[in-house]
Amino acid sequence: MAQKPGIPKGTRDFSPAEVAKRQYIIAVIKHHFETFGYQPIETPSFENSETLMGKYGEEGDRLIFKILNSGDYFLSTSKSIEDFAVIVSDLQIIRDNAKNGSIINFSKQSEIIDIKERLHIGDKLKNIYISLLNEDTFWNNIIESDSVEDIIKSGFLDIVFAEFSSIKLTPQISEKALRYDLTVPFARYVVMHQNEIEFPFKRYQIQPVWRADRPQKGRFREFYQCDADVVGSASLWQEVELVQLYDNVFTALGLGGAAIKINNRKVLSGIAEVIGAKDKLIDFTVALDKLDKIGEEGVKKEMLEKGITQEAIEKVQPLFNFTGSVDEKLARLSDLLATSEEGMKGVEELRFICANVTQLGLKKSVLDLDVTLARGLNYYTGAIFEVTAPKGVVMGSIGGGGRYDDLTGIFGLKNMSGVGISFGLDRIYLVLEELGLFPGTITETTKALFLNFGNREALYAMKAIGKLRERGIKAELYPDAAKIARQFQYADKRGIPFAVLAGDAEMSSNTFTLKNLVTGSQQQVAPEQLMQALQ
């Protein structure tokens, strides 16, 4: 019985038209990345688990796709455990026999020789199970001795057996994981390639990531991120430039009115400090970040469940209705955080970024200070960003990012501040589709289909097709000498606007018949006229 085809939940196939639209978005983003001076890199689709785990907070870690070790791993592990069990059993018998007074010539006992041979099956087996033992001492005391009296007295076999028995046999079933984002792999990349990099290093990366999330509109388990990061500079001008980068890209895509929201993790730390919940900073920010999803009451409920007191929640009440202009919000934050040094530092950073963005101006985007914006990732330390679609479009964030002061420190490279933003390709696609903003030309297919009348005619057509392709004109030959009606039908279903016919008459006069499949008109043209007509 034939297998029913299917794909994993949260993944998708893309049609030619969909791929063309996705490539259009990527081309726009890539163009602006490069005009802003960012250089491309790529990293593997999966990383060592230890590289990713613990970098995204408790909720993020749960969404990481782990990869099972494959190949003969389980087979070899199972065989090793089986061999080890036999070795331990043999050692136990030898020890018990010796304690019972049995005098054994160890060098002549077949079971001991078997043990030695098994341990020499391979270095891997030996290293796993007797790495704690001194091999020379082990064999000198057991294999090469004619007496066990001293061994029994010293308790050496007891020690050997105890050490073997204490080794954990549970196999490590996963040592790798699919990347959750592009930022942590980038930090790992920077540390590994630090001697090849000129700092500050501006990189962009456009690759898929994977998250074991619950699939829904705009949320997938496999999706693309388009990241731009600068590492090696703590200058706030980088944040100013990233706001401009967002504005340039969304303006080019026709997304006027996209809202670029900004906040600062230092501000959030300051708020946690002044309300008496400094020790609950992560719980506080994770709950606050869900305001747009679960509402004010939902956030308060989660905070209570996480151990944040009712009194602290009451002090944070003004944040739920924090309105006004950016300058007005900054003034209110200054009053609220007057007693927090870190909080005030965050306010000053926000003031610098917002003031300079205002001075430079934005094309069609709007910059807004959102004090409830927290971004769930633990590695952010300064400014944080989130971009939402224009009003009227129901969609989650279409971009986000922030400052991370020492992400590379996790991998041993200290004091390497960085900041970056990401564009959510898949959500941007959905927004452009909903608003009808894709240019009609990006899904253009083949410009002309040459009909096939037989091998002689096909060869004549292929010579012209080659010249058209040299000029960048999309043209193709119908592969089979099928009925003409079928070939016209094929062109119609593909949306091909022109058909080119070349039979005996055309070949004799070195011409082609060009038929406009939209209007139905046709004309006989010379090769050069054909080229011009299809330009």
The one-letter amino acid code at 59 reads: E
Q: What phi and psi values does residue 477 have, to the nearest 5 degrees?
A: -105, 135
Tell me if 229 is assigned to a ligand binding site.
Answer: yes
pLDDT of amino acid 272: 85
Query: What does the alpha-carbon distance between residue 192 and residue 178 come to, in Å, rounded to a whole number?
Result: 19
Q: How far is CA 373 from the centre of its chain?
A: 22
pLDDT band at 501 (very low <50, low <70, confident <90, very high): very high
The strand pair at 475-477 and 448-450 is best described as parallel
Kindly state the tokens that stand for 138: 């082990």
**Alpha-carbon distance 242 to 265, whole Å?**
17
Please compute the mean of the pLDDT values over residues 393-398 and round it to a whole number: 86
Q: What angle do CA 446, 450, 456 make, to 5 degrees?
A: 150
Nearest C-alpha neighbor of 397 from the set 369, 431, 364: 431
Question: Pairing between strand 66-68 and 174-178?
Answer: antiparallel
Report the pLDDT averaged over residues 151-159: 51
192-220 mean pLDDT: 92
- In the beta sheet, which residues pair with residue 524? 513
Query: pLDDT for 403-430, tens place per residue?
Result: 988 888 889 999 899 999 999 999 999 9
Contact 188, 47 (CB under 8 A): yes
Q: Where are the alpha helices (DSSP H) in 279-424?
A: 281-288, 291-305, 310-315, 326-336, 341-360
Residue 461: the pLDDT is 97
DSSP one-letter string for 200-227: SEEEEEEEEEE--PPPBTTB-SEEEEEE
The answer to the question of whether 445 is labelled as a binding residue is no
Tens of pLDDT, residues 220-230: 899 999 999 99
Whole-angstrom distance, CA of residue 237 vs CA of residue 235:
5
Quick one: pLDDT at residue 492?
94
Task: Read off the tokens for 332.
Answer: 């209110």
pLDDT exceeds 60 at position 119:
no
Written as one string, the DSSP assignment of 63-94 is TPPEEE--TTHHHHHHHHHHHHHHHHHHHHHH
**182 annotated ligand binder:** yes
- Cβ contacts of residue 128 below 8 Å, gap of 6+? 80, 167
Closest CA to 281 of 305, 306, 299: 306
Q: Which residue has the tokens 């895509």?
A: 253
Average pLDDT of the chain, as a whole number:
83
Tokens of 69: 């070790």
Give pLDDT, residue 91. Answer: 54
Backbone angles phi, psi at 316, to 5 degrees: -90, 0
Q: What is the pLDDT of residue 514?
A: 97
Amino acid 262: pLDDT: 97
Looking at residue 89, its pLDDT comes to 56
Integer Cα distance of 534 and 527 in angstroms = 11
Specify the pLDDT at position 95.
Answer: 53
Amino acid sitting at position 119: L
Q: Is the pLDDT at 475 greater than 90, yes or no?
A: yes
Q: Is 373 annotated as a binding residue?
A: no
Ligand-binding site membership of 183 (annotated)? yes
* More confident position, 485 or 304: 485
User: Is the separation of the CB atoms in 89 and 161 below 8 Å?
Assistant: no
379 is in an annotated binding site: yes
Share of the chain above pLDDT 70, in %: 80
Residues 6 or more apart whose CB falls under 8 angstroms from that of 310 comprise: 304
* Of 95 and 170, more confident: 95
- Rounded distance, CA 361 to CA 355, Å? 10
Query: Of 78-92, 285-299, 453-467, which has the strongest mean pLDDT?
Result: 453-467
| CA-closest candidate to residue 255, choices 91, 393, 82, 358 | 393
User: Average of pLDDT values for 106-124?
Assistant: 42
Higher pLDDT among residues 329 and 78, named by residue: 329
Query: Given this model, what pLDDT does residue 86 score?
Result: 55
Tokens of 324: 């006004």
Q: Quick one: how far is CA 532 from the chain centroid?
A: 45
pLDDT of residue 146: 42
Q: Is 225 marked as binding a ligand?
A: yes
Position with higher pLDDT, 309 vs 402: 402
pLDDT band at 398 (very low <50, low <70, confident <90, very high): very high
Q: How far, in Å, CA of 329 to CA of 398, rounded?
A: 24
Is position 211 annotated in a ligand binding site? yes
Q: 129: annotated binding-site residue?
A: no
For residues 374-396, average pLDDT:
84
For the chain, percent of residues with pLDDT exceeding 90: 58
Task: Write the pLDDT tens digit of every residue in 321-366.
Answer: 788 899 999 999 998 899 999 999 999 999 999 999 999 999 999 9
Q: How far is CA 152 from CA 94, 107, 140, 147, 160, in A?
A: 11, 16, 14, 10, 12
Mean pLDDT is highest, among 7-16, 95-104, 310-319, for: 7-16
Cα 67–chain centre separation: 15
Q: Where are the alpha helices (DSSP H) in 361-454?
A: 425-435
Count, in order, helices (H) and strands (E) of the chain: 22, 16
pLDDT at 167 over 60: no
Classify burial at 520, counting beta carbons within 10 Å of its beta carbon; exposed 0-12, middle 13-18, buried 19 or more.
exposed
- pLDDT of residue 150 exceeding 70, the answer is no
Tokens 């929640």 belong to which residue? 313
Q: Is a pLDDT exceeding 70 seen at residue 78? A: no
Residues 417 and 233 sit within 8 Å (Cβ to Cβ): yes
The candidate with the shortest Cα–Cα distance to 326, out of 368, 359, 362, 366, is 368
Tokens representing residue 456 in the block: 């002689």
Q: Is the pLDDT of residue 440 over 90?
A: no
90-94, 287-291, 301-305, 471-475: least confident range? 90-94
